[in-house]
Chains A and B, each alone.
Chain A
Amino acid sequence: MSATAILANGRVLRYSFHERLVHWLAGFSYVYLLLTGLAFWSPWLFWIAVVLGGPTASRELHPWVGLIFVFATLLMYRMWSRQMHETESDKEFWRALGHYVRNEDELVPSADRFNAGQKLLFWGFLWCGILLLLSGLILWFPHLIPWSLRYLRYIAVIVHPAAALLTIGLFIIHVYMGTAMERGAFGSVIRGDVSTGWAKRYHRVWYEHLLRDAAARK
């Protein structure tokens, strides 16, 4: 958390340059994987692969971009895993989920740097990423699997799309909240800072921590 601080202009630095860079490395690689993956998922979406440089190119590049995505996910793990452990207040958050959904944020327990939903997103993407990597490797080289081990291919064709679907569910909510729903959140991952009001309302525990840190440093 050393990189986050109260800025001179009164705003709060939420994500460092490194964090934003890793986020968008994961973001762009994921969107490419999603689009090319969907192209092979359904004949009705095959045109996506045509638009993205041809189906053969999409087939060749999808697994390579998958490796980039896994790399970005591992960087995220290194950056954030310590801040993603479940706490007591996360359990309260889930109990108060209805209030959160109805935008009654004053009835939702205040969160540390990440709230329970963000933690779910993080762990969901991490575990699904591992499943996608393992099944993706089999889908990458199906012809190298001997006939006697063919059940590995059968597992992979189920696990890969199933894990992808789980991430798509998380992704839809993540993008919706980050852009349309929670005003101010998108700027935090683009420019890096948020207003103090935003920090107090959604991540009060984190914000108070920052204030204490700043006071101690004086």
Chain B
Amino acid sequence: MSQATLEIRAISGHSGSVPGAGVRREFDVCKLIDTTTCIGCKACEVACLEWNGLSFSETVFNNSYQTMPETQWNYWNLIKFNEHEREDGTLQLLMRKDQCMHCEEPGCLIACPADGAIVQYVNGIVDFQQDHCIGCGYCVTGCPFNIPKFSPTARKVFKCTLCVDRVTQGLEPACIKACPTGCLHFGTKPDMKALAETRAKQLREYSGFENAGVYDPPGVKGTHVIYVLHDASNPELYGGLPKDPHVPWAVSFWKKPLKWIGNIAMIGGLLGVFAHYLRFGPKIEPADEETPRQGGAAPRTGTRDPGGRP
């Protein structure tokens, strides 16, 4: 993975074309998270903080292993725990590493109005550029995974970068590097997809997880972070992983049809009043004392009357 993977594919709030998009062979990166071999040690959380220079956040106790309810603007990687009671009464401790999914169709980027505040690289990484961010929080609304978080101090939004700075230099993301069980993998999207499918098949055939499968949701055209789940039919169990995520329809409606209806209506309104002026002209200010004309029709207003101005 070289500098070439930092070619930009899409830019938020940008009028015009995207410079350089599609000129080179695409090279999609992907992070694979195998929830079935995660032990919840949180090494990835620490590695994330270390690499990105973030300070540790205070934890809360809520009668489970969950250390905080969700990711934060300065805490981009969080293990979600769920004690799931199965039908046969046995307990299953589900652990899922939650972070930005780097959607192929990113709702945050679609929603963002600021030119260049969010870019999607050709390699699939969706990255926030805080120097262009205006802190409006539209991305918070656009994201189907509850990932972008507003910083009240910086008044800008932050999230996982997929360690774009490491990836550019040919390194894997910090979380991958730290994982002691090997449940995290990093490579090209086709390779990771194949590895994930192999693992899911193994789980189905040898470990008795009939519903094991790969989470690579088509609603957002696939993600550059994919999961192997013991029960792919029920992703909600894994700390609220959405079953069929897609860019919220309100956001799609707002950014496409509503924009067009609005633009046409506004331009139509301006042209309309201009056409009215050309056709009918102004209502000339009437004379102070109108004397009705004798015999003829009532005086037409709007006809030019030089004596009419006071």
| Residue positions of A touching B, CB distance < 8 A | 10-11, 39-44, 46, 49, 55-56, 58-60, 101-106, 139, 141-143, 147, 150, 153-158, 161-162, 165, 168-169, 172-173, 176, 180-184, 195-198, 200-201
A154 and B141 contact, CB distance less than 8 A? yes
Q: Closest CB of chain B to A102's CB: distance in Å?
A: 6
A59 and B251 contact, CB distance less than 8 A? no
A43 and B273 contact, CB distance less than 8 A? no
Complex interface residues of chain B between 228 and 287 (CB less than 8 A to chain A):
248-251, 253-254, 258-259, 261-263, 265-266, 269-270, 272-273, 276-277, 280-287
- Partner pick for A168 among B149, B251, B266, B300, CB 8 A cutoff: B266
Q: Closest CB of chain A to B161's CB: distance in Å?
A: 19
Q: Closest CB of chain B to A31's CB: distance in Å?
A: 15
Interface residues on B, range: 35 or more
Given contacts A153-B141, A154-B248, contact A172 B269 (CB under 8 A): yes
B15 and A46 contact, CB distance less than 8 A? yes
Instruction: Pick from B14, B137, B150 the residue with the most CB of A within 10 Å.
Output: B137
Q: Which residues of A contact B289 (CB under 8 A)?
A: 196-197
Q: Closest CB of chain A to B261's CB: distance in Å?
A: 8
Please provide the 5 A-B residue pairs with the shortest distance between their CB atoms, ordered closest to farther: A103-B302, A154-B250, A143-B150, A197-B286, A142-B137
The CA of A150 and the CA of B111, in the complex, are separated in Å by 15
Question: Which residue of the partner chain A has the closest CB to B143?
Answer: A150
A158 and B13 contact, CB distance less than 8 A? no
Q: Closest CB of chain B to A202's CB: distance in Å?
A: 8
The CA of A142 and the CA of B143, in the complex, are separated in Å by 12
Residue contacts A-B, CB under 8 angstroms, 12 given:
A43-B113, A103-B283, A106-B298, A106-B300, A139-B137, A143-B137, A147-B146, A154-B251, A156-B141, A180-B277, A197-B285, A198-B286
Given contacts A183-B282, A197-B285, contact A104 B266 (CB under 8 A): no
Q: Which residues of A contact B299 (CB under 8 A)?
A: 106
Q: Which residues of A contact B15 (CB under 8 A)?
A: 42-44, 46
B262 and A41 contact, CB distance less than 8 A? yes
Q: Closest CB of chain B to A51's CB: distance in Å?
A: 14
| Number of cross-chain contacts by CB at 8 Å | 149
A103 and B301 contact, CB distance less than 8 A? yes
Q: Closest CB of chain B to A200's CB: distance in Å?
A: 7
Q: Closest CB of chain A to B118's CB: distance in Å?
A: 12
B135 and A59 contact, CB distance less than 8 A? yes
The CA of A139 and the CA of B15, in the complex, are separated in Å by 23
Q: Which residues of A contact B251 (CB under 8 A)?
A: 154, 157
B301 and A105 contact, CB distance less than 8 A? yes
Complex interface residues of chain B between 112 and 134 (CB less than 8 A to chain A):
113-115, 134
A56 and B250 contact, CB distance less than 8 A? no
In this assembly, does B81 line the interface, its C-beta being within 8 Å of a C-beta of chain A? no
Q: Which residues of B contact A41 (CB under 8 A)?
A: 113, 259, 262
In this assembly, does B288 line the interface, its C-beta being within 8 Å of a C-beta of chain A? yes
- Partner pick for B136 among A40, A102, A165, A182, CB 8 A cutoff: A40
In this assembly, does B138 line the interface, its C-beta being within 8 Å of a C-beta of chain A? yes
Q: Which residues of B contact A184 (CB under 8 A)?
A: 285
The CA of A118 and the CA of B221, in the complex, are separated in Å by 50
B265 and A143 contact, CB distance less than 8 A? no
Q: Closest CB of chain A to B169's CB: distance in Å?
A: 31
Q: Which residues of B contact A44 (CB under 8 A)?
A: 15
